[in-house]
Amino acid sequence: MHSFPEPALALVGEMTQAAKADPARAVAFQGAPGCNGHRAALEYDPDCLPLPCFSFEDALDAVKDGQAARAIIPIENSQHGRVADIHFLLPESGLSITGEYFLPISYAVMALPGADGSVGPFAAAYSHPQALGQTRHYLRARGIVPMAYADTAGAAAFVKEQGDPAACAIAPRIAAELYGLEIVAEGVEDAHDNTTRFVILAKQPLDPASLAGTRAMTTFVFEVNNQPAALYKALGSFATNGVNMTKLESYQKGASFAATTFYADIEGAPGDPAVDQAIRELAFHCKDIRLLGSYPQARARG
């Protein structure tokens, strides 16, 4: 809690106490009140009690420790790609994905007025690296230096705390209202179909049988055997069984760069004969497979 800027601490304290009183309704998110994770939690479950956490690890630990029943975590953005480190954190957390949510993203520039009441020009803009990447054309065109911060709304609170009129924050509009900043510009994201995909995590996985008859997704990680064409053969498991793979990303395990782990999403869930057969065939070509969860599909895929 005390890693947040001072202007955010009172709100963080209030929200933490509310979640502590009813952890079954609590949904942990990374960031200060007013960030996109906060928005996603309330839009996904309007009756939840959002629990702000300083880091992604803190949000996952809140679920593991029983402070929250669920966490909502961003994993990829349509414009700026995957969220750094999340592919390492999810498998290590021991939690299961139980849902997904797609949040349209729009950013505002916000700042404190100067002594004469004017706002800007700005030398630096503070925000999460994802937000800075999603607004890079706007910042570059104005010669504003991007400065990374832990989260978008926390950056707004930081700008308020510093009191420097030459600094601005890139954050959701609500952050300006929460931290007493003036909105200078809105809709500054470089693509106006900007969307972030969040996943919902809990201690217990959904029973795949509960997904029968619905459009479902399954997420898993796997490491193929160290032999020629192993990945080609592994992916053939899905092609030959008619299972659609919607996402495949690789990342390195350890510093040797000798073992590559793959993160994948497929349509369907265990219990579907095609999915079951595909996973059995995949196992033949792999050192390790770990299912991270099956859950309802939130968005129809073309």
Type of residue found at 43: E
Using CB atoms within 10 A of its CB, is residue 284 exposed (0-12), middle (13-18) or buried (19+)?
exposed
CA distance 103 to 105: 6
Query: Active site residue: 198, 222, 238, 262, which one?
Result: 198
State residue 70 phi and psi, 5-degree precision: -145, 160
The question of whether 198 is a catalytic residue gets the answer: yes
Q: What is the DSSP letter of 209?
A: G
Q: What is the DSSP letter of 106?
A: -
The number of beta carbons lying within 10 Å of the beta carbon of residue 45 is 17
Query: Active site residue: 196, 218, 219, 261, which one?
Result: 196
CA 179 to chain centre: 23
Longest dimension (CA), the chain: 70
The question of whether 122 is a catalytic residue gets the answer: no
**Cα atoms found within 13 Å of the Cα of residue 231, Cβ hemisphere only:** 12
Q: For residue 173, list its beta bridge partners.
A: none
Which residues have a catalytic role annotated?
196, 198
